[in-house]
Copies of this chain bind each other. A is one copy, B any other.
């Protein structure tokens, strides 16, 4: 049996093919543009930065491509997180020291593997620093870089914890600019497995997890029985209700905002405990991550203090070489 194609039949077939193609094209385009628009999920933050500060901030353009990259990563990473999964606000207090650039470079490159991070870097100093601002710019990460110095009267007080005032500044900024998301305090000299940040996104109230290489036990961990946190295994228990390290918990912003005045206390060794108590946290609120706290996904590594470069070491007759410029760069 043979079929004779009339012009009308051919016309209809071609029209149908066209419609199918256009539908497919529109559909995939729609998918892409949706993904691009949803990363970052905090347009207000990105917008306000440009209003408020002269520090460099993310270019719209790199946000576009990070969105595209994010689409591919999310689609094939096997994570299957919903598009509306929250941003993780990583708060990193930092200060000028010989290892600062190495530590921040390392941490930035860890975060660059993730597409749901907003990085809040707060310098304990009077001003921000150009090399750090350039590093943040290069990273392509959505970020906010601020300076918040410890007041002079507390600076050498052994009873006052370090990084209190820059963490407080980050809390103030979040309260003023962000509604949804998860807060995580990440010091720049720790080491993080990117899976930790992926898990942190699920935080409903307060999530907790083990931290490796800490104090005399070499580990600090919540104690979990039948998927519930029942206590803490930490070398320093003292009077703490929540014996956790700063790197050992994350807080959902909605939970944080229930207590508008909650903040980090001054007393050294009690920063985490005081903050979680101020939030009115109960043991029942704690959500154990890292497979019921049986895995270590963050380590309290510390970088050994190196010898400081000193121009006294410059050899004679080196004025017309690279060395003066090199020393100028590392001593900046």
B-contacting residues of A (Cβ < 8 Å)? Answer: 7-8, 10-11, 14-15, 17-18, 21, 65, 68-69, 72-73, 76, 98-99, 101-103, 105-106, 109-110, 112-113, 191-194, 210, 212-219, 221-225, 230, 233, 235, 288, 292-296, 299-304, 306-310, 313-315, 318, 320-323, 325-327, 329-330
Contacts and interface: CB of A to CB of B under 8 A. Distances in A.
Contacts of A292: 322
Nearest to A103: B191
A103 B76 CA distance: 26
Of residues A193, A300, A308, which shows the largest number of chain B Cβ atoms within 10 Å of its Cβ?
A: A193
Contacts of A212: 101-102, 306, 330
A95 to B, nearest CB: 17
- How many copies of this kind of chain does the complex include? 2
B326 A295 contact: yes
Contacts of A326: 210, 219, 221, 293-296
A301 B299 contact: no
A193 B321 contact: no
A318 B218 CA distance: 18
A307 B225 contact: no
Contacts of A329: 294-296
Given A7-B8, A11-B11, A191 B295 contact: no
Given A10-B11, A113-B113, A218-B306, 20 more contacts: A14-B15, A18-B18, A21-B21, A69-B69, A102-B212, A102-B213, A102-B301, A106-B110, A215-B307, A216-B307, A218-B309, A218-B310, A219-B330, A223-B315, A225-B321, A225-B322, A233-B315, A233-B323, A293-B322, A295-B329
A314 B329 CA distance: 48
Nearest to A73: B69
A305 B302 CA distance: 8
A112 B203 CA distance: 26
A219 to B, nearest CB: 5
Given A18-B14, A109-B113, A304-B303, A322 B191 contact: no
> What DSSP secondary structure best describes chain A's contact surface?
mixed
29 contacts: A7-B8, A7-B11, A14-B15, A18-B18, A21-B21, A68-B72, A99-B213, A101-B212, A105-B299, A106-B106, A109-B193, A210-B326, A212-B306, A217-B307, A218-B308, A218-B309, A221-B322, A221-B323, A223-B315, A223-B323, A230-B321, A233-B314, A233-B315, A235-B313, A294-B325, A296-B330, A300-B306, A301-B303, A304-B304
A309 B210 CA distance: 13
Contacts of A225: 320-322
B76 A72 contact: no
Contacts of A15: 14
Contacts of A235: 313
Contacts of A10: 11
B303 A224 contact: no
